[in-house]
Structure 1
């Protein structure tokens, strides 16, 4: 574990490689890095963090995502952790002279271990045995890999790197076609050009920039007295087509103006805050523009799926390796000449010819002419914030919000003034929720609160920023009641939230914190985008998004309300409800009060089914569905505006829930934070989830006492648009044939949408890897029985109109719609268990609805009950299958 050999090979006065020291073991996720090293021979260095150093292997051909490729990996000396951020040139005459790119980096976990405290002990044991199994979570490489030491290898240095078979497999993988995450740049040393760049004799490891919020709080971020305030857009609700307009993607980041002069340059926010120290990569990249110019654009950080993420942008200061982009969409001045009076179309022609081509940081924000609806649909599919529509002949109006530019949002987001915070509950630290407001006619008015969307680090940072602003009195004129102690602050900070809907009173419901808006002044927050979209920009539409179809809604079915004379004991024992408003009701469920809101809202417009009827369905079948939900973390799929809205997933929902809701806190590797998952352990929780907009219910396959051991495995038969349901049935029968031959029992249910699910009980005897392996074996044999219309290809592009037999759902944290769950599809069909004799041609998912299920349950009972019973003996099944 010593770095002595590493240091012995290098002269740190002649190379910019980090000298480094061994670090103490921490609790943070373990990291990995793969560096493309173009030295005497091109190779790739694979490095895993362990015991405060990077264990390292040199791989001549580089890693592969094809399990058929067994790559030779020669173990070399340990490297310091700082080396994981090194890229650039190693001067000629030094050990390893050449260029180094960061080809990939991320975090990793050892396979088969769940507790962070056990990771390194387990890895040491595997390393000693010569058989290391890890799951990588990077940009270019993901999934499970094995490092296996070759037998009889000299000094034990020769290993093989092998990709395990999982959803990340790529057959015929070509590493040469994959770009590095961080490249060394155009002017660094190569074998053909041994001289280092004159202006960069010695590259140093990049230091993290301060976070935006920290910079503002400390005063390190300069605020310019004179600056150009960019043009702003009004809001419109619906997308449109118009040959006189152009349409751009709306980037979710910080608006940024760049002033490039002959001798100096400036980069700042819409309110004049300097971005020089906050985003040095963007600032330095402006050198690529060789003539004086003033540019308008947006600074964004991309997530793992190359989508802009405002939350990732908040993390850039602590992780400057995140991919940051300056998308430029307008130009105000060129070579000292103002262009603001030119039409937008002409400005864009000048801009596209000015910007550098294929630059990693500065990019032209392209547009589409006329077809706004198509662009908006593309934005919806990408999951980005929305679209900006601009008149092609519009001039640039500095500092004005104009109807020549319109923002059309896919997601409900809103800027809000922070007016205070509530005290934390349970294990929460620092604060419970931020209290939000906005200015109307110069008065600060309350618009809601947000208690979700925070990491521990952000909670601490926001809390620290608010402390100097604490005041004794409320900044609101009206009295706002809260169910927790409140600390009021001076209304000087602005944040951004996403939310489910806007009430008639102008309150944001289910607001989720996205980040702080350092580029906005509180007084600028003087309108709600949703309200604005319902006005002038939408040409007189009066119906808001949250009230569409309200007139057509039918009253939700209700039981008779209990009278005031009902005894206290009876009220505690029985479920009852009382009206609290025209569309709301309060229901007492098993001693708990559950507020049910907007019960007349149409969830299924074509079927006339309201939110209240969805709630009543789950209330009526709760005794059947709850056994399949109890003690299982829930991934909430919420459709608060009904099935015609896209909806969203909400996992971190437990901390903000009522006291009767049980929850479990689990660390998420993907989110790199603790997530408070709801456990649906009682009827009140089920109805609370339904009221949040959970039309369907999605539990884990494992329970809290055995999170790594599923109670069942699942095969999800997912048809394409080209498949008939009779083909789905034929595939299910093929799966049953394979299971029967192996002596395994399977239970079939409709997915509630277009497919079928087949469950095999395991009784938590096996882990997810074993479950997935068995499911994969069954899937392969079943696919061989019906090869003409089925596939095991996960990629939609590769399926070619065939039914996908999905065995990859058998993974910790993956969810499927529960048995008896309603689905957010036309018809409000239900996921319903079947007898195998029913699985025959002519069956269809539309047969199972709220109208038909009660009689079916009375007649057949719970057909799915054995799924939670005795599990199969996997070893016996595998042996029988071989025979």
Structure 2
């Protein structure tokens, strides 16, 4: 029981919520508090004192005195005891922004326990079991209650709060008709205060950000300074005994000059860092001998990885962990070392720097094994590696091929040329318009509208206002679909992006921060083009102009897995190219048997998808695809391939998303056209597996899914009975569900949500439906996820409702004997005698002609979960 999660979510310089510490156990009565929290969605927070903290649950509809109301309660992080006295406003932009009122408070006791000394032990044991029974003695709520954990909630945080029948029970209880015991401030009841108290804002004024400091002139620029040596760009990592390899840190390049009495710290263009990063500047005192150092200032995120975006916030949050990684030394004790070989310089540097210092750290290297270092960089999720010739000399101000940067992520510095007007509720800026200089002219390279916080939008907008001009800084005319404000091209930002188009435009550019250390005229090349040019010169052959090349090296493990999986079998020579909607799609090995017992070839699989493409594509469009590839047919195990967009043709759309599990960016294919669908089929994709959400709302699924997964001991009639039980629950809740065969052994039931809810909310409702359905057919069903615990029963799987999870799409073929198809059903067809083998690539086209697309409503109007919960919980 810790307050770590509570503290991690809050910035106590911005909110008046108590910081709190865990209290020791006492003998006083245990307390409870209920707070009405008018945040993005109104809810009530129910808190019980236990083991020195407040165990906490968020209750969307609030507690009730009516035993018929089974209120959903989502367990959240522990809160400090002081929070029980908190009421007030949490400022916009902070976790839980909105107004908090104390609705009720008092004491409580566990049911069935008489001695105070035994209270917490009993409560702790029953909390662990997921079954708490207690009696409240509050101003409004009194009597016996139960908190019951819902079966097999994935995170274990979904509970039900239930009022027991006693003299305090009240039928038809309406919590919103009862005013708080201690409302906050003088406000209209039911409306949240829009902003936090101004006194809080005045209490502590944070340091200005780097951008603000430069604008205000607080960060001065030195007239005389040393411009550090720079690296050329290369695409591929390599091994070479004559080279050493270092991690490429994602921060601000910084030169430190340390004299006997004075010291300086500045950027590559001479901008003083002394007031911006005072902790680093002060730490230079630990270096006891005169020296000139070259390194990188970085700030670490919560996963101890360098974050350029966090570095931008450092002035306003100086508690962030900051490090000066030093990788070179130019001078020592007044003697220049620029003509000394690199390894000798680093040996001097390592001896000079303080050991195990919190801020100043030596940036080590690995000799020869560049590929291994690069793979390590990929696993760490850092920007890439720097390769340096072991005997290279230091050439200040020069970009040289003795140093090479090899990127794991596609990043690019860009000049800000203007911005588009914001749309809908967004403020200040819609997107920044970006360019680079080529032969003295500013060239358009794209725009970025993502990666901003509200605060950052305001700050960048403020920095651009003094630079506004009437005309475009570009010579060519650039069309935009929103009004444009042009600015003098004096500011530089950094973006990450998915790829570079043939026209030299950055696709899916994401704003990372402003580069206060770069002059606009220095931004005179595209890194991915430079890397391709260097690789072409090295190899003596043509290199493509795609930005995917730089990222391709970041995935050696996945490519190796691909090669391993492609076992050489008897290869057919049948190849050809077909033209699909103006795109050339190459098809190979079309005579290869994919379903040996059925005599179905790869070409027939491609032909099937070609024939039903207009039906399946609406369910694939703009959804990341996790490719399941069976290039040698269904009798080979096959493999999953998520990171599949890097080598795809130009007609294949993609999206780059960071994977927490893989700790790197993943390039997902988006199947947005028929050519892409057939390209995937040609890769060996017998089945198609899209996400439940689309790119414009990745955290909000368009539907939830219940996967009825039978064991070997279940009959398909029992699968049908379970589906009908789910339908009964949905009908009572006023929700609609649409059934399809999985194409293998089960059934899938989809409930449309229209992207109105996030995955947690979808999964919560799916679990509730699964819970009630399982109670209708308990003899042969289970909610146990573990195969060992299912004991031959059908598993009602609601855990598929999670970002990144996939199921076989409707109309997808399945890699099982018979080449069955995942087929939508009318509910009147869901009856005993139904079987998935009835729906194959032979029968489905005729069925589509007759019935049309039965699944279309799944992408239509979504259900109202709140109304459904009300019917399920209250019987209304």
What band does the TM-score fall into relative to the shorter chain?
0.5 to 0.7
Is 2:391 the partner of 1:400? no
SS in 2 for 1:208: coil
Q: Which residue of 1 aligns with 2:253?
A: 255
Q: Which residue of 2 aligns with 1:769?
A: 764
CA distance 1:69–1:502, change in 2 (3 Å): closer
> 1:239 is paired with a residue of what secondary structure?
coil
Pairing of 1:483-632 with structure 2 (within 5 A) = 483-538=481-536, 539=538, 540-546=540-546, 557-558=579-580, 599-600=583-584, 621-624=613-616, 626=618
Aligned to 1:120: 100
Contact 1:145 1:161 (8 Å CA) reproduced: no
Of 200, 211, 214, the match for 1:213: 211
Asked whether the equivalents of residues 433 and 448 of structure 2 are also in contact (C-alpha less than 8 Å), the reply is: yes
Q: Distance in 2 between matches of 1:557 and 1:251?
A: 45
Aligned to 1:436: 434
Please give the secondary structure, in 2, of the residue aligned with 1:781: coil
Residue in 2 that maps onto 1:265: 263
d(CA) in 2 for partners of 1:419, 1:702: 27
Residue matched to 1:282? 280
Is contact 1:30-1:50 (8 Å) kept?
no
CA contact (8 A) 1:69 1:162 kept: no
Report what 1:810 is aligned to.
801
Residues 372, 427 of structure 1: CA spacing in aligned structure 2 closer, same or farther, 3 A cutoff?
A: same
Aligned position for 1:449: 447
CA distance in 2, matches of 1:385, 1:606: 41
For 2:711 and 2:88, the matched residues in 1 are separated by 54
CA pair 451-391 structure 1, distance change in 2 beyond 3 A: same
Paired residues of 1:327 and 1:365 also in contact (CA < 8 A): yes
Residue 276 of structure 1 aligns to a residue in which SS? coil
Distance change (3 Å), C-alpha of 1:860 and 1:458: same
Q: Quick check: 1:698 aligned with 2:687? A: no
Gaps of 5+ in 2: 1-11, 27-31, 39-44, 57-73, 110-127, 158-201, 550-574, 593-604, 627-642, 659-669, 681-687, 728-737, 775-780, 826-832
Q: Which residue of 2 aligns with 1:783?
A: 786
CA contact (8 A) 2:442 2:473 kept: yes
Residues 842-861 of structure 1: pairs in structure 2 closer than 5 A: none
Judged with a 3 Å threshold, the aligned counterparts in structure 2 of structure 1 residues 413 and 125 are, in CA distance, closer, same or farther, namely same
Larger radius of gyration: 2
| Cα 1:858–1:736 shift into 2, 3 Å | farther
Deviation at residue 169 of structure 1 after TM alignment: 7.5
Q: Deviations for 1:157-207, whole angstroms, at most 9, x for unmatched residues?
A: xxx99999866689xxxxxxxxxxxxxxxxxxxxxxxxxxxxxxxxx9985
Determine if contact 2:421/2:429 at 8 Å carries over to the other structure: yes
For the pair 1:300 / 2:313, whether they are aligned, the reply is: no
Between the aligned partners of 1:607 and 1:387, the Cα distance in structure 2 is 44
- Alignment of structure 1 residues 62-141 onto 2, 5 Å: 109=96, 120-121=100-101, 124-125=102-103
Distance (whole Å) between structure 2 residues aligned to residue 333 and residue 607 of structure 1: 68
Q: CA deviation at 1:524?
A: 0.7
CA distance in 2, matches of 1:243, 1:58: 62
Change (3 A) 1:543 1:779: farther
| Matched residue SS, 1:348 | helix
Cα displacement string for residues 416-458 of structure 1 (whole angstroms, at most 9, x for unaligned residues): 1122233344444333332322222222223233333333332
The answer to whether the Cα contact below 8 Å between 1:451 and 1:512 also exists between their aligned partners in 2 is yes
Q: Equivalent residue of 1:214, what SS?
A: helix
User: Equivalent residue for 1:466?
Assistant: 464
The residue that corresponds to 1:596 in the other structure is: none
Once the two structures are TM-superposed, the CA of residue 515 in structure 1 deviates from its matched residue by 1.8
Q: Is the 8 A contact 1:130 1:148 kept in 2?
A: no
Q: 1:649 to 1:282 in 2, by over 3 A?
A: same
Q: What is the Cα deviation at residue 405 of structure 1? A: 1.1
Query: Cα distance, 1:334 vs. partner?
Result: 3.7
By how many angstroms is 1:837 displaced? 8.2
Contact preservation (8 Å) 1:236, 1:406:
yes
Structure 2 CA distance for aligned equivalents of residues 483 and 771 of structure 1: 40
Distance (whole Å) between structure 2 residues aligned to residue 736 and residue 213 of structure 1: 64
Partner of 1:103: none
Residue from 693, 704, 712 that aligns with 2:704:
712
Question: Which of 797, 809, 819 is equivalent to 1:819?
Answer: 809
Partners of 1:120 and 1:215 in 2: CA distance:
35
Cα distance 1:30–1:260, how it changes in 2: closer, same or farther (>3 A)? same
Instruction: Quote how far apart the aligned CAs of 1:490 are.
Output: 1.8
Structure 2: how far apart are the matches of 1:335 and 1:152? 73
Residue 757 (structure 1) shift: 9.4
CA gap of 1:48–1:708, structure 2 versus 1, over 3 A, is farther
Q: List per-residue Cα deviations over 1:257-300 (Å, max 9, x = no partner).
A: 22333433322211111122222333333344344333322222
- Give RMSD over aligned pairs: 6.6
How far did 1:533 drift? 0.8
SS at match of 1:370: strand
Given that 1:430 and 1:459 are in contact with CA atoms closer than 8 Å, whether structure 2 keeps it comes out as yes
Matched with 1:313 is: 311
Q: Alignment partner of 1:399: what SS?
A: coil
Whole-Å separation in 2 of the counterparts to 1:238 and 1:71: 47
The structure-2 alpha-carbon separation of the partners of 1:625 and 1:461, relative to structure 1 and needing over 3 Å to count, comes to same
Do the aligned residues in 2 keep the contact of 1:554 with 1:600 (CA within 8 Å)? Answer: no
Structure 2 length as normaliser, TM-score? 0.57
Q: 1:207 to 1:298 in 2, by over 3 A?
A: farther
Structure 2 distance, partners of 1:648, 1:375, is: 26
Query: Contact 1:763–1:868 (CA<8 Å) still a contact in 2?
Result: yes
Instruction: Report the CA distance between 1:522 and its aligned residue.
Output: 0.9
SS of structure 1 residue aligned to 2:382: coil
Compare 332-341 and 511-520 and name the one that shifted more.
Answer: 332-341
Please state if 1:417 is matched with 2:420.
Answer: no
* Aligned match of 2:323: 325
When the two structures are superposed, what TM-score results if normalisation uses the length of structure 1?
Answer: 0.57
With over 3 angstroms needed to count, the CA separation of the structure-2 counterparts of 1:547 and 1:530, relative to structure 1, is closer
Cα 1:868/1:469, change in 2 over 3 Å = closer
| 1:386 CA displacement | 1.9
Helix, strand or coil at the partner of 2:372: helix
Counterpart of 1:201 in structure 2 is none
Per the TM alignment, residue 401 of structure 1 is displaced from its structure 2 partner at its CA by 1.0
**3-state DSSP of counterpart to 1:225:** coil
> Structure 1 stretches of 5 or more lacking a match?
1-21, 41-45, 85-105, 110-115, 132-143, 171-203, 560-584, 586-598, 652-679, 718-727, 793-804, 879-883
Question: Partner of 2:490: helix, strand, or coil?
Answer: coil
Offset at residue 413 of structure 1 (A): 1.6
Q: Structure 1 CA distance, aligned partners of 2:78 and 2:389?
A: 55
